[in-house]
Amino acid sequence: AAVYVGDTIEDVIMGKAAGVLTVAVLGGFGSRESLERASPDLLLDNLSDVAQLL
């Protein structure tokens, strides 16, 4: 399985286009509100939370 991890709306869009699980992470370029509007599969508070998913 593949996962697309990013911090922008564009990252979520690209992951969805690739047909993979999308994980948006706060703390980068995207705000919580903008990332929520992009509807990622998961929205995490920080990058270190990604390791727990793998």
Q: What's the pLDDT tens digit per position in 26-47? A: 988 889 999 999 999 999 999 8
C-alpha to C-alpha distance for 23 and 33, rounded to whole angstroms: 15
The number of folded domains in the chain is: 1
C-alpha to C-alpha distance for 24 and 38, rounded to whole angstroms: 9
The reply to whether 9 falls in a domain is yes
21: pLDDT strictly greater than 90: yes
pTM: 0.89
Domain with 41 in it = 3-47
Determine what percent of the chain is predicted with pLDDT higher than 90: 74
Task: Of 16, 11, 5, 3, give the one whose Cα is nearest residue 46.
Answer: 5
The reply to whether 53 falls in a domain is no
Q: What is the mean pLDDT of the chain?
A: 93
The reply to whether 54 falls in a domain is no
